[in-house]
Amino acid sequence: METRNTKQKETIKVILSRPENRLHPTINEIIKMVEKEDNSIGQATIYRQVNRLVKDNILKRIPTKEGFRYDITSFLHGHFVCQKCGRIIDLYDKNYQVLITELENKYSIKIHESNLINEGICEECNGKV
């Protein structure tokens, strides 16, 4: 079933696409961003539209110990989640795409979604361990 682009969904996409908002926000942070810009969009609509954006592969849902965070970056990449401060770092590497292609060829499959999540301690927290 094809979903239609609604004004609310487009508004959320535009807000999350801004460089200052690409910090892997939680759903509560997304709600605050959207309400600040357009207080006519209710929380239930924001939840529903965020879920649709995830289903449409526009947003990625990143599981963390505190709950989900979201990423609108469409370029194939992985994530690093700091176990101490919760910071999420985007991991861009051309070899990631190479690995996906090799797996597709080796197993005769087509990968539509990939979630590489690494956990550990970030550089800032490393001295605090």
In this predicted structure, the answer to whether residue 58 has a pLDDT above a threshold of 60 is yes
Report d(CA 103, CA 99) in Å as an integer. 6
Tell me what the pLDDT averaged over the chain comes to.
90
What mean pLDDT comes out for the span 66-95? 91
Cα 65 to Cα 46: distance, rounded to the nearest angstrom: 22
Q: Quick check: 5 pLDDT over 80? A: no
Confidence of residue 129 (pLDDT cuts 50, 70, 90): low
Percent of the chain with pLDDT over 70: 95
CA distance 8 to 126: 41
Distance CA 58, CA 64 (A): 19
CATH number of the 75-129 domain: 3.30.1490.190
Instruction: Delimit the domains of the chain by residue range.
Output: 1-74, 75-129
The pTM for the full model equals 0.81
- pLDDT tens digit string along 91-127? 999 899 999 999 999 999 999 888 899 999 999 998 8
Residue 4 has pLDDT above 60, yes or no: no
Res. 1: pLDDT tops 60: no
> Cα dist. 33→13, 72, 79 in Å?
11, 14, 23
Span of 42-46, 71-75, 95-99 with lowest mean pLDDT: 71-75
pLDDT on residue 43: 95
CATH number of 1-74: 1.10.10.10
